[in-house]
Amino acid sequence: MAQECPKELQDLSEVQRFYVSLLEPCLGHPVLVPAEVKEAASSLSGAPESINALKYWLDLLDMAITPPMLRETLKQEPKSRIAHAMLRYLVAKASSRANDRDKCDCVITFLFREPASDSARQWQRPEIDSSFHHLSLAALTFEGEIYRALGDVHFEPMPAAQVQLLGEFEYFHQELEEFRRFDQITDSAMVQRVRELKQSLGKSFYHPDALAAIAVWNDVFGRKFDELFHDATKQIKTFAEHVTREGGSILSRVEGDITVQQLSEIKTQQILAEDYQNAQDQFRKVSKYKKAVDHKKVARPAAPVSAFAAAAGAPHPGAPSVPTTFAAASVPQPTAPVNIPAPPRIQERQQAEVIAVAPSAAVQNAVQEGKIHSTKETIKNHVRSADTKFANLVPIRKNNMTLTPAEVEAFRVDYGVEKSFRADYANILMLLVSYHARMIIEVDEYRQKSNSAYLWKPHADALGYLLSTFQRLSLEADQLKRTARQRGLQDKAAAVETTLEKVKKYAHTVSETLHAADHSYSS
């Protein structure tokens, strides 16, 4: 990867001046440059002695220059010329030191985000939610720009094993698409895993093919990371402000040893300005604070909710923010029903029932969630233990519920805690089937006890909860369908659509049942 000597000398001289300009403000005094280096930098011959003198000096300065210093300087004062010189210097050096690799990482990402005005090719930065196909096209276009910037430098084809490593970015991208909260990024250890992949590339890290793919990944991941981080810190600070506005003490504990004061003192920009390796503890702390705030919001006491409000389809205060294990959750709760008419209030049947004190909404919700989970496990055990010919026939009360082949397969596979599209797909199908089964069970119980004085009430509660939370589940299913179609998985999109429509249809039956009961009580 040798460069033409005069051009290499020019690049080394420019990098040397740039490094000195970075160090002097930090030191507060001039950097004493050796006479031999000054002479080499002013030389025009490009003699090997001059080039080596500069390289040895830059090796020393590289120990003092950190990636964050480089990144922040380029961000504040975009300099394509010095960035190109830095790129040629670092690629020619091909250092295995993490500090040098990180600097090249910063430079290549800057060049992708800030194309030079004289770039032969122009590329469009992909949106955060772009498909991997669009990311690959952007990388391919940018790769041409890298070759142009490096000049007449010959590169051997990357080894097959390293090319295969680059293919891992597609799976990282699929995982990234599913993150909706900052703690999902920190819990996944994605930054460290990508860092290890870059290290595994060895010298191939500096190959234009690898640099192009890395630059696009850094850009998309960086924006997603910043977006979720800002959202998390904003919610944390908003919670702290709310507590103090309501008269709470800044020293009051939110959870464990976490205080309101700690929440309010998060320095968002200061944390983001640090190198990730140095800021890991801060990121983990923000993730911990966010989880504590989320838990506090869910656990906050709520006013008792009657069965009548539940049957009306009103969301339960204190209900879990996500009634499902779907990893791409965090879907906002709708303010209006989704294709399901909300049933009216069921009239009170006895004054004694009004006097009775109902369990808290949080307790009722936890019970219903437990029943949904139990139903899912029961169906799963049946599918996995039954004869293959009859695995699709699940006994529900006095009848059998027939599962589609896709639903059977969803209950049969086991992805554990895997965070992936296929795991989300299986989870959403299992939850939809479980909701369907729970509705069948509760409608049957409700009808059997409709003539009793009060035994019908728990089943009306259960049906109201299923209807209201099914609205959110429908949104999640729709979201997963869109993702499947974007990835060309039409069969999976169709499978989710079939199951969702089946449950929606029965949800209408549930709604009509409660309507009919309400009218009969009124008359």
CB contact at 8 A, 476 and 331: yes
Whole-number Cα distances in Å, 335 to 276, 338, 469, 478: 39, 9, 12, 17
The pLDDT score that the predictor gives to residue 80 is: 81
Between 312 and 520, whose confidence is greater?
520
Give the residue, 354 or 124, on which the prediction is more confident. 124
Residue 427, number of CB atoms within 10 A of its CB: 21
Task: Say yes or no to pLDDT of 326 above 60.
Answer: no
Q: The pTM is what?
A: 0.54
Written as one string, the DSSP assignment of 198-239 is HHHTGGGGGSHHHHHHHHHHHHHHHHHHHHHHHHHHHHHHHH
Gap between the Cα atoms of 507 and 436, Å rounded: 8
For residues 427 and 495, the answer to whether their CB atoms sit within 8 Å is no
Tens-place pLDDT, residues 415-452: 877 888 899 999 999 999 999 999 998 888 888 887 77
The chain-wide mean pLDDT, for the chain, equals 79
Give the gyration radius of the chain's Cα atoms.
30
State the pLDDT confidence band at 278, using cuts at 50, 70 and 90: low
- Per-residue model confidence (pLDDT) at position 282: 75
Most confident option among 217-221, 256-260, 382-386, 397-401: 217-221
The pLDDT of residue 273: 66
Find how far residue 325's CA is from the centre of its chain. Answer: 15
- Two tokens at 159? 């080894």
Report residue 390: phi and psi, to 5°.
-115, 10
pLDDT of residue 453: 65
Residues 199 and 196: their CA atoms lie apart, in Å, by 5
Q: How many other CB atoms are there within 10 angstroms of residue 300's CB atom?
A: 10
What is d(CA 81, CA 14) in angstroms, rounded to the nearest whole number? 9
Average pLDDT (327-333) is 35
Domain layout of the chain by residue ranges = 235-297, 307-522
- Position 105 pLDDT exceeds 90: yes
φ/ψ of 400, rounded to 5, equals -110, 140
* Of the candidate ranges 10-19, 93-102, 257-266, 348-357, the one whose mean pLDDT is the lowest: 348-357
463 against 302, higher pLDDT:
463
**Weakest-pLDDT range from 69-83, 325-339, 429-443:** 325-339
The answer for residues whose C-beta is within 8 angstroms of residue 187's C-beta and 6 or more apart is: 287
pLDDT given at position 128: 84
DSSP-assigned letters across all residues of 351-396? HHHHHSPPPPHHHHHHHHHHHHHHHHHHHHHHHHHS-GGGTTEEEE
Helices vs strands, H then E, count in the chain: 22, 4
Burial of 167 (0-12, 13-18, 19+ CB in 10 A): exposed
Q: What was the pLDDT predicted at 42?
A: 81
Residue 402, pLDDT score: 92
